[in-house]
Structure 1
Amino acid sequence: MGAMSHAPSALLNSTGSSLDAAGARKALRKQRITETLAAWSLAGPALLLLVCLFFLPVFAVFLIALTDWQFGASTLSFVGFGNFREVFADVGFRASFANTILYVLIVVPGTIILGLAIALLIESGKSCRAFYRAIHFLPFMATLTAMAIAWEALLHPTIGLVNQTLAMLGLPTANWLRDENTVLPVLAIIGIWQNLGYAMVLFLAGLKSIPQDLYDAADIDGADLWLDRLRTVTLPMLGPVTMFVFIVVALKAFETFDTVQILTQGGPGHASEMLLYTLYRESFQYLRTGYGAAVAVVFLFIVVALTLIQARVMDKKVHYQ
């Protein structure tokens, strides 16, 4: 009798435990559903905006690149990868690609080296730091179109200040923007001048984040010269900032268009033509929209690939705190 009386209570306990476990699982599923809905409600608008403003336009450009559509035409034909074959066979495209790579190879190291040097000079100064920061950051904030016109006046072959100064010093002058040997380096100098303030501000922020204890430890270890301190403390600690500046400036250099359009229009010949200007010319001057879309797709793949390679290579050499 005693054993039989304990059986119903054991059954009730097991049933209650099962109901509690089922209720807990149901509550957990409900909580997960609530968290998922909350996450999508927060990330959904941004994701939708990203899809509408980036992925859909990229997909549309790729589809157009597979056709012979011309801007304004009511008909089009599917040509497959014919536009891409034409792009890689085009001498003008190869010239603009080489010019863009050379431009990036000049602008990126020049901006990083000069930006870091100016940041170190400002940080080591005792007065007028805000004034020097504002002066060097002004070109980055200024309208590039107005600055390009100012550079065009400075580089004028007869009345420009640059040639007049060189003539006063007895040095040879040049038609800087119409000479195939000088036009691309001059555009690169303008690009460095434009991005210099941005790099300087980021390096100044990075310098302020370096603990003074590291410099004190370097002094104790005998690295009391500024070059030793720069090599052993400053540059390693600025690794993340340098990597960020490198990638941002490289992307801006690849996207150079304004100065080419205003100052040279890609000339003389193709000496200063960049990839983005080639895209503009083919799509909006010659109205070869399908071919221009193929140039845009190739340009996108080049920029993404080089950016990923740069980030991968530099990330291995960067010291993170």
Structure 2
Amino acid sequence: MTAMALPSRRVVHAGTDRSQAIQGWVLAMPAAMLLAVLVIAPLLIVFGMSFTDYSLAASHWAFIGLDNYTEIFRDRRAFGAVLHTAAYIAITVPLSVGLGLVLALLIQQRRTLRNVYEVVFFLPATSTFIAMAIVWQFLLHGRIGPINDWLVALGLGRVDFLTDPTTALATLAVIGAWQLVGQTTILTLAGLASVPTDIYEAAELDGMTRGWDRFLRVTMPMLAPTLLFVTVTTTITAFQVFDSVAALTQGGPAGSTETLLYKIYLEAYQYTNMGYAAALSVLFLVFIVVFSMIQILFADKRIHY
């Protein structure tokens, strides 16, 4: 009887597994279709368009191969946009991640009004930057701005933060760090909350009583996965800088703040050169993927999960 029952049990299990697999595909199908329509299909269209001379609203277009990509290497403004984006990232990411770590450590030590501090520092991430741009334009104005008044009161000269090519990009980077610091603070606070308290107790029993030692030997190693995630996401967000450029400088003065995403916008909607803009978009995506993978591979060897 036992020997006769084994094949039927296998058939039942196989039928059950097949039924569960079908149910899983059915449940995943709406999300997969949405992903294909909203993400994969546009990427394929942009990639295909990058090999054409298509212009916005044009009735005729032709396949031109790699001409758009070769044009990128001949375009000084495109090369400048890449350099400006890299400089923006080099300032914004360390500043926002470092300041977010400091603020998270300070907020974690608070016993009262902790939720108030979290909300206050997260407000820049929730505010509409186009509205805040009016405030920043007033604060940084070369003649009537309060920041310049403070500089004069300190005996320093006035600075044309947004109209001087030597300071405009750095100013936008600092504003970008201000906009991102709330997000990095909240994420770092979540990482600090996940560190077990018994590790600190064990470290104290081993004689690690100084706060700086505990921070370097306990907090930072335990917080490293969170900081890696924060750094990667902040880098991706910094790559996508557009609103501050469009609202405050429009790529000026003298093209000193023209970033890669703003360059794509100009080519696509100001000059209607959609094929060339598509090639720049592919380059933009490649940069994001490469930078993210470098960060992950470089840090993954030094992080213990």
What TM bracket, shorter-length normalisation? over 0.9
The offset of 1:22, in angstroms, is 4.9
2:279 is equivalent to residue 279 of structure 1: no
One-letter code of the match for 1:64?
M
Q: Which residue of the partner structure matches residue 248 of structure 1? A: 233
Q: How does 1:229-240 map to 2 (within 5 A)?
A: 229-240=214-225
The offset of 1:33, in angstroms, is 2.0
Q: Which residue of the partner structure matches residue 94 of structure 1? A: 79
The offset of 1:21, in angstroms, is 5.3
**Alpha carbons of structure 1 residues 283 and 124: separation in structure 2 relative to 1, 3 Å:** same
2:195 is equivalent to residue 210 of structure 1: yes
Q: Which residue of the partner structure matches residue 128 of structure 2? A: 143
The offset of 1:260, in angstroms, is 0.3
2:283 is equivalent to residue 313 of structure 1: no
Q: How does 1:103-252 map to 2 (within 5 A)?
A: 103-252=88-237
Other structure's SS at 2:69 match:
helix
The offset of 1:127, in angstroms, is 2.2
Give the whole-Å Cα distance in 1 for the aligned partners of 2:220 and 2:18: 48
Q: Tell me which of 39, 44, 48 is aligned to 1:63.
A: 48
Other structure's SS at 2:30 match:
helix
The offset of 1:25, in angstroms, is 4.3
Q: Which moved more, 1:251-260 or 1:43-52?
A: 43-52
Q: What per-residue deviation string (whole Å, max 9, x for no partner) do you get for residues 52-98 of structure 1?
A: 11111111011111110100110101101100110122111111101
One-letter code of the match for 1:77?
A
One-letter code of the match for 1:119?
A
Q: What per-residue deviation string (whole Å, max 9, x for no partner) do you get for residues 226-281 of structure 1?
A: 11111011111111110111111111000010000011111112211111000000
Larger Rg: 1
Question: TM-score normalised to the size of structure 1?
Answer: 0.91
Aligned Cα RMSD in Å?
1.5
Give the whole-Å Cα distance in 1 for the aligned partners of 2:65 and 2:196: 58
2:98 is equivalent to residue 85 of structure 1: no
2:267 is equivalent to residue 268 of structure 1: no
**Alpha carbons of structure 1 residues 56 and 233: separation in structure 2 relative to 1, 3 Å:** same
One-letter code of the match for 1:30?
G
Contiguous gaps of at least 5 residues in structure 2:
none
Give the whole-Å Cα distance in 1 for the aligned partners of 2:98 and 2:218: 17
One-letter code of the match for 2:59?
S
Q: Which residue of the partner structure matches residue 5 of structure 1? A: none
One-letter code of the match for 2:80?
A
The offset of 1:43, in angstroms, is 1.4
Q: Which moved more, 1:204-213 or 1:227-236?
A: 204-213
Other structure's SS at 1:238 match:
helix
Size of the alignment, in residue pairs? 305
Give the whole-Å Cα distance in 2 for the aligned partners of 1:120 and 1:302: 32
**Alpha carbons of structure 1 residues 21 and 214: separation in structure 2 relative to 1, 3 Å:** closer
Give the whole-Å Cα distance in 2 for the aligned partners of 1:303 and 1:205: 25
Give the whole-Å Cα distance in 2 for the aligned partners of 1:188 and 1:210: 31
Deviation above 4 Å: which 4+ runs of structure 1? 19-22
Q: What per-residue deviation string (whole Å, max 9, x for no partner) do you get for residues 200-220 of structure 1?
A: 111112222222221122222
Q: What per-residue deviation string (whole Å, max 9, x for no partner) do you get for residues 158-216 of structure 1?
A: 11111111112211211111111111111110011001111111111222222222112
One-letter code of the match for 1:170?
G
